[in-house]
Amino acid sequence: MASRIIEFFGYSPSDPSPIARYSRAEKLCPFVEGRCIKTLNDGLPSGACTLEPAKGGAVICCPIRLYANNYKILHDVASIAFGPNIDLVIGNEASQNLPTSGRSKIAVFGKSWGGELRLPNRSGVGGYYVDWVLAKLDANNQLEEFVAVEVQSIDTTGNYRSEREAYLLEKEFIGNSSAGFNWENVSKRILPQLIYKGNVLQRERNCKKGLFFISPTPVYERINQRLGNGLLEYHLQTGSITFMWYNIGNTASAGVARDLELNGSFTTSVVQIANAFTSPTNLPPANVYEKAIQAVL
């Protein structure tokens, strides 16, 4: 499906402000203050944060875009899992005499926050890693509980290279790119990973609030659709999976990136997801293969 880039190196592609022009020229990501790490096949920085299909709303296509507003998603997860107003600190610095000493704190383990946790491998087959671990520590820096956080956007298909090149030259791009979205990954990759990691975490005695899954709103909608739109709601517990979905705000002034907005959250169980994923009730109509063959003959 044809689409267009609506956020390019953090700003509208047509944003004439000095900061937006500088971001495009230097290939920067304003959300994590560094160079854009989303690349094209030849290694060039992509710059495409968010695409908008011809039909439908904006779709965040870079997971780093979800780290906007000073890692808002991590603060949102911490507030839901552990309560408000608890400081987040870099994981490998949590035991130091920081200003948060004397009360609870949340040690954050993940890229740019002290690194991911070292975990045993699976004899070379896959791994147990999650994107983030938020560990609540008491006033004596002893572990009370933790939650795991997975962050996913959506892979793109097709090509937006010509559109990208036009915007880098500060030219108007006429038409739409051929870029679309690999929604098939919802079934092939995203849901199997959620089920597997949810089961691993269910065996952790201190993972008392389960796994949190962060995604753009359209990705959550596709997941819910794939699972039959019938998941039962659960409270936070060991073995729960909490979906939290985000989108960008409607508008922003020149030189300002759009806000990242939490659109909703929903908690269910890994058992519910696994059952819905394999359910024989969530099938296409009968004889779809026969009809496809007849249509070609």
Quick one: DSSP state of residue 241?
E
Write out pLDDT tens, residues 217-247: 999 999 999 999 999 999 999 999 999 999 9
CB atoms within 10 A of CB 266: 15
Using the structure block, give the residue that is written with the tokens 């495009």.
24
Cα–Cα distance, 223 to 243 (Å, whole number): 10
Greatest CA separation for the chain: 75
Residue predicted with more confidence, 92 or 207: 207
End-to-end CA separation in angstroms for the chain? 26
Write out pLDDT tens, residues 94-140: 877 555 556 889 999 998 887 778 776 666 555 678 999 999 999 88
Q: Residue 26: pLDDT above 60? A: yes
The two three-digit tokens of residue 168, written as one number = 């880098």
Q: Residue 266: pLDDT above 90? A: yes
Q: Residue 283: pLDDT above 80? A: no
Cα–Cα distance, 62 to 156 (Å, whole number): 9
In degrees rounded to 5, what are phi and psi of residue 6?
-115, -15
Average pLDDT, the chain: 91
Residue predicted with more confidence, 282 or 206: 206
The answer for residues whose C-beta is within 8 angstroms of residue 206's C-beta and 6 or more apart is: 143, 144, 145, 146
Residue predicted with more confidence, 156 or 121: 156
Write out pLDDT tens, residues 163-206: 999 999 999 998 778 888 999 989 899 999 999 999 999 999 99
Distance of CA 274 to the CA centre of its chain: 20
Distance of CA 105 to the CA centre of its chain: 24
